[in-house]
Chains A and B, each alone.
Chain A
Amino acid sequence: MTRTVDPAAGRIAALGAALVLLALAAAPAATSAGEVRVELQSRDGTPVPGVAVVLEGPAGAPARSSGRHSARMDQQDRRFVPQVLVVDTGTSVEFPNSDHVSHQVYSFSPARPFQLPLYKGAPHPPVQFPAPGLVVLGCNIHDEMVGYILVTDSPFHATTDAGGAARLREVPPGAYRVTVWGPLIHDGGGTLTTTLAVAGDGPQTLSLRLKDPLRRSPSPRPGRVDWDGY
């Protein structure tokens, strides 16, 4: 079943995201009961991948875990892959370093400051993220490397795929606050929030369309070579 959410009726209220156009779309047939599908499009209608989507339940709701206690943030071609990772509070994240060069990952974000040298052939333990918040990752050797780990207490989170869709499964009925965050989003300073009432009688789709253009995305270049020359 597809729920039609009318912004004018207040079923979805844009909070601090006045630049976002909220629209409704027909739910794809692939959605299932208890599933919320959030679709994000840029101003020109193209899908926006790699954006974090978090549904936070009503206050006082019993705490739950998504069941995922480990995650992986790789380093490939001097980039963090994925660039945006959403994890539960307390998750241990591995940094395997698939590059042929060394990295020195760090964060001085209040949510989780750490320093992790990643040398080839040298073991390194995963990093646990015990507190919610946004953790900005950098590399002390390659300044252009930037990654993000969004740590949340909510079990309902995902990142948008190549089609710009994020699927959140087994969402119980209730009123939720939807938070959308991405480093390339210009609207609302990068963080957009709205509300969504999940009725629990079928899958729902929430379609969002940005009003401002995305920030420029750093993208790999052909023949990318060792820029860290000395």
Chain B
Amino acid sequence: MARRILAVAILLLAPAMVARAGDRLELTGLLDLRVVAADGTTSYLNGGLGRTRFDSDHDGVQLGRLMLAGRFRLTDTLTLNAVAESYADGDVQPAGFSQAYLDWRPFPTRPVRFRLRAGAFYPPVSLEHRQVGWTSPYTLSTSALNTWIGEEFRVIGTELEARWLGASQGYNGDVALVGGVYGWNDGAGTIMADRGWALTDRPSLLLGGLGHAHEHLYTELDGRPGYYAGVAWRHGEALEVRALHYDNRADPGAHNSRFDFAWETRFTSVGVRYEPTDRVTLMAQHLDGKTYVGPDSAGPDQFALRVHPCTPWRATSAVRTACRCATIISRTGRTAASIRTTRPTTRVTPSRWRGSSASTNTGSSSPKSCAFAASSRRDSTSTSVRASPTGRRSWPCDTGSRSRRARLRIDAIGGGV
């Protein structure tokens, strides 16, 4: 029988308040409380198989997120940024930092401006997370693609961006090349292999685990740095296109004393955000890659995982059926409505090693999901009502709007897998 989840969450008081201490420190706080009524299997966060964040054991008032983000200006061009968060959901670490990095942005003296980041931060993949603390102004949970990015990916290293500033050449837009080198991301793929795709708003913290992955997620097992390289194009304020290739270059045979293996994870991500009018936002992202572990020494327990989570509006091949992930947000005055469709695909296949090809333990899953949402926002309060049918299909997406001030939101989520 399909697991069914019906959750009604009323969000109370989710203000993001900005305060300053002098002219050097800028603080942003967010308190997100929800009243949850859920009927579903035990969440992955509590050791179960459920793919939603809250389950039937979480009826009542729950903490959605408590966040404090700070930006401290060391010099005119150098800032220290840090984001501390708490989710109070049984994580081995109740609170901690999700990001902490230095950001150096020298003033441009020519049409190319450089930017250097060093520390721990998110790779520039998501088009949804546009607000302080890597939060989304669009939906409560994010797409499966960016949920995964939030759960298992953090750049602990450096990133260099070179941006051509088009305004000085008469073009309202710019083009950026970005590249990063990092370590401590050999565990990326653990949660994906264990649970598969999910749609939540629960990113990981720098220290500690998440769900079944109790140990530290961000570890270095093989001493090999990873890299990513990408390009971004902004055209006015209407269009932004990003493409990025990520490879943690992990040695899939490396492991620690507890036999936690390194996951070789690589993917290519492409995303488009288009806002044709002031009231409509279209977003679509595609990610295609693979992650695998233990090709040389793990024996018969080894396996490979090929992932094709989101392929919006793409002509796909017949063999590698991909999925669609797109969001449309429409605003009319103070009312916003959004539609999102996601079809992540996970195919688990046995790996080939030493010239032989195994043929067992092959599985795949292709959950479909879609959600309709409508919200009404005022300056001081924000209310959204979301309703989705239940059944064999999954409807775990949700949405909402955020305001810098207090808000009230009612969410109804229905789903089944």
Contacts and interface: CB of A to CB of B under 8 A. Distances in A.
Interface of A: 100-102, 104, 106, 108-109, 113, 115, 117, 119-122, 136, 138, 140-141, 143-144, 146, 183, 189-190, 215-216, 218-223, 225-230
Of the candidates A106, A183, A218, A222, the one having the most CB atoms from chain B within 10 angstroms of its own CB is A222
A104 B26 contact: no
Interface in B368-417: 377, 401-404
Contacts of A144: 234, 237
Interface in B46-68: none
Nearest to A227: B130
Contacts of A227: 130-131
A65 to B, nearest CB: 29
A104 B83 contact: no
Interface of B: 18, 20, 22-24, 26, 28, 69, 71, 73, 76-77, 81, 83, 99, 103, 105, 107-111, 113, 121, 129-135, 137, 163, 165, 167-168, 170, 172, 174, 234, 236-238, 275, 278-279, 331, 333-334, 336, 377, 401-404
A140 B108 contact: yes
A58 B168 CA distance: 30
Contacts of A122: 23
Contact of A106 (B69, B107, B236): B107
B236 A216 contact: yes
A226 B331 CA distance: 17
Pick from B99, B237, B278 the residue with the most CB of A within 10 Å: B237
Contact of A222 (B83, B121, B174, B278): B278
B377 A223 contact: yes
Contacts of A229: 129-135
B314 to A, nearest CB: 26
B206 to A, nearest CB: 15
Given A140-B113, A143-B163, A223-B377, A121 B22 contact: yes
B115 to A, nearest CB: 9
A117 B76 contact: yes
Contact of A102 (B26, B108, B168, B237): B26
B355 to A, nearest CB: 48
A230 B236 contact: no
Nearest to B235: A216
A136 B278 contact: no
Given A115-B107, A222-B334, A230-B69, A143 B134 contact: no
A140 B77 contact: yes
A207 B343 CA distance: 56
Contact of B238 (A104, A216, A228): A216
A179 B98 CA distance: 53
Contacts of B279: 221-222
B137 A146 contact: no
A226 B23 contact: no
Which of B109, B167, B404 has the most chain A CB atoms closer than 10 A to its own CB?
B167
Contacts of A120: 20, 23
A190 B170 contact: yes
Contacts of B377: 223
Contacts of A230: 69, 71, 81, 83, 99, 103, 121, 132-134
A140 B77 CA distance: 9
Contacts of B402: 225
Contact of A138 (B22, B108, B170): B108
A77 B333 CA distance: 18
Contacts of A141: 105
5 contacts: A102-B26, A104-B107, A108-B168, A143-B163, A216-B236
Contacts of A189: 170
A120 B111 CA distance: 27
A220 to B, nearest CB: 7
B367 to A, nearest CB: 29
